[in-house]
């Protein structure tokens, strides 16, 4: 800042605040009149907008000979495989079969149908990575206010250090289990199934069902937690493997981009099915549906 007066600081604060409020309003307008979550789409656009610039810088370094063509091909192959893996994990789920008992109410029979309970592999989404990275910021922040003797000790928590990477991975695994336990309660699910006459074949309703769901969820979450840890450490691994620092790939940005893209595609498919269904109803009419 060349001008450190209070008026300049006030102008900066007001400008940043007004821009943030405008983006929030714009996101709400996209959510109300568009497709998908407006804020997520704005974040998605901000991340994707940086891809052409990073790609152009990478190609310029390749033309200058600073990055080998083999490393570029290796980077592209790893990028495609990682995106495919993220899509598989984001869409992956363990389906527990649910059977509903038959009930006779008057002259009609209710229930007797079979459905499933989906347990997503990555139930925590991006939240565990955000929590872990936020906690690991504290040591480096505290080191700025301490003497140089303490800064050498806290330097092990800087990105790229083995201690930092191991701590980062362990915190992501911990917060994945923690956040999954917060948003998903097997006891409530088991009680709701018992209340409406549902049960898992071979498992007794009530506490045995809750224990079974919790055991399956712990195994499924472990795979998702390890995958999130690998995605978070991917930028450091790629930098050391292919020596490409002009193109950021991995971590939170990759999960946000893939997650928002999949969510938007699902909502578009739902709108298309709904529109087709409404057109079918208008075309046939309610009288034609009961005409024999």
Residue 291 has pLDDT above 60, yes or no: no
Distance CA(100)–CA(104), nearest Å, equals: 13
How far apart are alpha carbons 41 and 267 in whole angstroms? 13
Which is more confident, 161 or 223? 223
| DSSP assignment letter at 120 | E
The confidence band for 110, taking pLDDT boundaries of 50, 70 and 90, is low
Q: 158 or 265, which is more confident?
A: 265
Q: Using pLDDT thresholds of 50, 70 and 90, give the confidence band for residue 14.
A: very high
- Please list, residue by residue across 178-203, b when 16 or more beta carbons sit within 10 angstroms of its beta carbon and e when fewer do: ebbbeebebeebbbebbeeebbbeeb
pLDDT value of residue 151: 61
Tokens 């007066």 locate to 5
Q: Using one digit for the tens of pLDDT, what is the confidence trace for 165-206?
A: 888 889 999 999 999 988 888 899 889 888 888 888 888 888
Residue 25: which pLDDT band, with cuts at 50, 70 and 90?
very high
Mean pLDDT, range 125-140, rounded to an integer: 82
β-strand partners of 120: 93
Binning pLDDT at 50, 70 and 90, where does residue 292 land?
A: very low
- Residues 82-100 have a mean pLDDT of 86
Instruction: Give the per-residue pLDDT at 268.
Output: 83
Lowest mean pLDDT among 158-167, 184-193, 278-287: 278-287
How far apart, in whole angstroms, are the C-alpha atoms of residue 212 and residue 99? 15
**How confident is the model at residue 288, as a pLDDT?**
47
In this model, does residue 19 exceed pLDDT 90? yes
| Per-residue pLDDT at 16 | 93
Sequence ranges of the domains in the chain: 65-269
Show the tokens assigned to 91. 């869409």
Sequence-separated (6 or more) residues with CB below 8 Å from residue 8 = 1
Confidence class of residue 111 from pLDDT cuts 50, 70 and 90? low
pLDDT at 67 over 60: yes
Mean pLDDT calculated for residue range 54-68: 80
User: What's the pLDDT score for residue 279?
Assistant: 54
Q: What is the mean pLDDT of residues 245-252?
A: 65
Banded model confidence at residue 249, pLDDT cuts 50, 70, 90: low
Report how far residue 282's alpha carbon sits from residue 188's, in angstroms, rounded to the nearest whole number. Answer: 41
The CATH topology of domain 65-269 is Preprotein translocase SecY subunit (1.10.3370)
Query: Is the pLDDT confidence value at 22 over 90?
Result: yes
For residues 282 and 130, the model is more confident at 130
What average pLDDT does the chain have?
80
The predicted pLDDT at position 150 comes to: 63
Whether residue 83 is predicted with pLDDT greater than 50 in this model: the reply is: yes
The sign of the CA dihedral 98, 102, 103, 105 is positive
């Amino acid at each position: 800042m060349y001008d450190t007066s209070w008026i300049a600081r006030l102008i900066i604060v007001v400008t940043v605040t007004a821009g943030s409020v405008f983006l929030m309003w714009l996101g709400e307008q996209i959510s109300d009149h568009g497709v998908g979550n407006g804020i997520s789409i704005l974040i998605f656009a901000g991340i994707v907008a940086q891809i052409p610039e990073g790609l152009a810088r990478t190609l310029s370094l390749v033309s200058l000979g600073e990055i080998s063509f083999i490393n570029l091909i290796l980077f592209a192959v790893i990028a495609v495989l990682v995106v495919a893996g993220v899509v598989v994990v984001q869409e992956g789920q363990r389906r527990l079969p649910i059977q509903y008992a038959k009930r006779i109410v008057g002259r009609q029979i209710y229930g007797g149908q079979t459905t499933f309970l989906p347990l997503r592999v990555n139930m925590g989404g991006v939240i565990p990575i955000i929590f872990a990275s936020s906690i690991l910021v504290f040591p480096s922040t505290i080191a700025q206010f301490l003497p140089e003797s303490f800064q050498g000790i806290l330097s092990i928590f800087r990105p790229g250090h083995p201690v930092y990477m191991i701590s980062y991975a362990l915190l992501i695994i911990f917060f994945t289990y923690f956040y999954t336990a917060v948003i998903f309660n097997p006891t409530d699910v088991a009680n709701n199934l018992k209340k409406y006459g549902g049960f898992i074949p071979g498992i007794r309703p009530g506490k045995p069902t809750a224990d079974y769901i919790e055991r399956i969820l712990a195994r499924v979450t472990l795979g998702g937690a390890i995958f999130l840890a690998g995605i978070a450490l991917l930028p450091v691994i790629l930098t050391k493997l292919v020596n490409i620092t002009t193109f950021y790939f991995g971590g939170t940005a990759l999960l946000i981009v893939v997650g928002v893209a999949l969510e938007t595609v699902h909502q578009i498919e739902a709108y298309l099915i709904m529109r087709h269904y409404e057109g079918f109803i208008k075309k046939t009419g309610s009288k034609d549906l009961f005409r024999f």
